[in-house]
Amino acid sequence: MTSRLAKFQSIWQSAPYAFAFIGAMVIFAITLIANQGSGAGQIVSAALAFGSFYALVGIGQMFVITSGPGNIDLSVPANIALSGAVAMSIMGGSDAMIPLGLLAALGCGAAIGCVNYALISVLRIPPIIATLSSSFVVQSLAIVYGRGLRITPPPFLAEIATGRVAGIPILSVLVIALAGVMALVLHRSIYGRFLKAIGQNMNAASLAGIRVGLVRFGTYVLCAIFAALCGVLLAAFSGGASLNMGEEYLLASIAVVVIGGTSVAGGFSNVSGIWGAALFLYLLVTMMNTLGVGTGLRQILTGLIIVAVITLAGSRRGVRE
Partner 1 sequence: MTTHSQQQRREAMPGSSLQDSLVALSGVTKTFGAVRALAGVDLSVGPGECIGLVGHNGAGKSTLMQILAGTLRPTDGRYDLGGETVALSDVSVSKAQGVGIRCVFQELSLCPNLTATENVRVRHAALSGFGWRKRAAKLLTEALDDIFPGHGISPGATVGDLSLGRRQMVEIAINFIATESSHPRLVILDEPTSSLDQSVASQLLAYARRFVEAGGSIILISHILGDIFSTAGRIVVMRDGAVVADRPASEFDRASLVAAMGHVAEDDEDEALAHAAKARIGEPVVIARPPKQANGAAVSLHRGEIVGLAGLAGHGQTALLRLVQHAAYHRSRLAEVRGRIAFVAGDRQSDGVFPLWSIGENVTIRSLPALSRLGFVSSAREAAMEAEWKDTLKIRTPDMDDNILTLSGGNQQKALFARALGSDAEIIAMDDPMRGVDVGTKREVYERIRKEAGEGRSFLWYTTEFDELLHCDHVYVFREGRIVAELDRGELTEEKVLQSSFDEAAA
Partner 2 sequence: MARLDPKLLRAAVPALSLALLLVAIFIIQPRTMSYFGLNLMLNLALPIAFATMAQLFILTVNDLDLSIGGFVSMVACIAATWLNETPLLGIAALIASIAAYAALGALIHLRNLPSIVVTLGMSFVWLGCAVLLLPSPGGAAPDWLTAIVKFKMPFVPLAIVASAVLGLVVHFGLMRSAGGVVLRASGGNPQAVAKAGWSLLKLKVTMYALAGTFGVLSGLILVGTTTSADANIALRYTLLSIAGVILGGGEFTGGRVSPIGAVLGALTLALVGSLLSFLRISPEWQIGAQGLMLIVVLALRSLVNRFEERAQ
> Rule CB under 8 A: which residues touch partner 1?
184, 188-191, 193-194, 196-197, 200-201, 203-205, 207-211, 263, 267-268, 316-317
The CA angle 105-131-258, to the nearest 5 degrees, is 95
Q: Other CB atoms closer than 10 Å to residue 226's CB: what's the count?
A: 29
Q: Is 284 helix (H, G, I), strand (E, B) or coil?
A: helix
Q: What phi and psi values does residue 165 have, to the nearest 5 degrees? A: -120, 120
Residue 203 interacting entry, from partner 2, partner 1, none, C-beta within 5 to 8 Å by type: partner 1
Residue 169 φ then ψ, to 5°: -60, 135
For partner 2, the binding residues in 147-186 under the rule CB under 8 A are: 147
Nearer to partner 2, 11 or 307 (CB): 307
Between residues 186 and 281, which has the closer beta carbon with respect to partner 2?
Answer: 281
* CA distances, 253 to each of 94, 125, 126 (Å): 31, 22, 19
How many residues comprise the chain?
A: 321
Contact between 297 and partner 2 (CB under 8 A)? yes
Residue 10 engages partner 2 in binding (rule: CB under 8 A): no
- Segment interacting with partner 2, rule: CB under 8 A, options 49-57, 157-165, 176-184, 310-318: 310-318
Interface map 198-237 toward partner 2 (x if CB under 8 A): ----------------------------------------
Classify residue 239 as exposed, middle or buried by CB count within 10 Å of its CB (0-12, 13-18, 19+): middle
Part of the chain binding partner 2 (CB under 8 A), chosen from 81-89, 98-106, 161-169, 293-301? 293-301
Which partner from the list partner 1, partner 2, none does 290 bind, CB cut-off 5 to 8 Å by kind? Answer: none
In Å, what is the CA distance from 238 to each residue of 66, 163, 264, 318?
A: 31, 12, 32, 44
Choosing from 39, 93, 126, 239, the residue that interacts with partner 2 (CB under 8 A) is: 126
Distance between CA atoms of residues 158 and 161, nearest Å: 5
Q: What is the spatial distance between Cα 105 and Cα 262, in angstroms, rounded to a whole number?
A: 28
**Minimum distance from residue 135 beta carbon to partner 2 (Å):** 7
Q: Which is nearer to partner 2, 141 or 178 (CB)?
A: 141
CB of 223 to partner 2, least distance (A): 16
The three-class DSSP label of residue 292 is coil
Q: Per rule CB under 8 A, is residue 141 in the interface with partner 2?
A: yes
* Nearest to 79, CA basis, from 149, 137, 126: 137
Q: Which CB, 150 or 211, lies closer to partner 1?
A: 211
> Is there a contact between 309 and 12 (Cβ–Cβ < 8 Å)?
no
CB count within 10 Å of CB 207 equals 9
Torsions phi, psi for 59 (to 5 deg): -65, -45
Segment interacting with partner 2, rule: CB under 8 A, options 11-19, 42-50, 56-64, 127-135: 127-135
Using the rule CB under 8 A, is 305 a contact of partner 2?
yes
Shortest spacing between CB 184 and partner 1, in angstroms:
7
Q: Which does 194 bind (CB under 5 to 8 A by kind): partner 2, partner 1, none?
A: partner 1
Name the one range near partner 2 by CB under 8 A: 42-50, 95-103, 221-229, 257-265: 257-265
Distance CA 111, CA 296 (A): 37
* Interacting residue ranges for partner 2, rule: CB under 8 A: 69, 72, 119, 123-126, 128-129, 132-141, 143-144, 147, 251, 254-255, 258, 264-265, 294-307, 310-311, 314-315, 318-319, 321
